[in-house]
Amino acid sequence: MDRRRDAAGGHADERRPLVSRRVDGIGKLARRGAARGFTLLEVLLALALFAIAVVVLTSSYLNIIEGMAAVQTDREFEQEVRWVRERVLLLADRAEVEKGGELTTPAAAKLSWDATVLAAPVADLFLVDLHVAMAAGTENGKAREYRERLTVLRPGWSEPVERGKLFEDAKQRIEEDRRQRGVAAEKRT
């Protein structure tokens, strides 16, 4: 008896459901593809995707390193500016503040600073315009500048005549303000 024929006289493949033929067909295609391996196009596509991923990740990594170096350089410059500001605030002599100065940073950079002192409209109060400059030739090779206006209270910097005039002007403004508000002047005992 022929194995392909059954008792009804039909083929055994004809009795299988349509779905199983498709599964058999897919299985046969899958077995044929597995025996052949990857096509050249598939390998080239995988290599191209891998290369793109490597380029993107490498450029991101380099950007992060450059950013960290820039932040470190900024921190160092800010520390130097803080040191100069502190030195200016500690100087008692107005002429020394206006003279300025130079220093060498721990990173062997040349830092110079100068200040301009201006009298404020209040007695013993002064405005100090501070300018700090770092010369090129440091690690990152960029010249840097920083400007700041400080307000300082320095009674020793005031001229006695000017101080008296500012006190008198302040007293007149206070009295005028009291008159406008209708407040009586205080009597001293």
Q: What is the 3-state secondary structure (H, E, C) of the chain?
A: CCCCECCCCCEHHHHCCHHHHHHHHHHHHHHHHHHHCCCHHHHHHHHHHHHHHHHHHHHHHHHHHHHHHHHHHHHHHHHHHHHHHHHHHHCCCHHHHHHCEEEECCCCCEEEEEEEEEECCCCCEEEEEEEEEECCCCCCCCCEEEEEEEEEECHHHCCHHHHHHHHHHHHHHHHHHHHHHCCCCCCCC
Which of the two residues, 1 and 57, has the higher pLDDT score? Answer: 57
Which of the two residues, 81 and 36, has the higher pLDDT score? Answer: 81
pLDDT in tens, 102-144: 888 777 778 888 999 998 888 888 999 999 998 876 555 678 8
Global pTM reads: 0.53
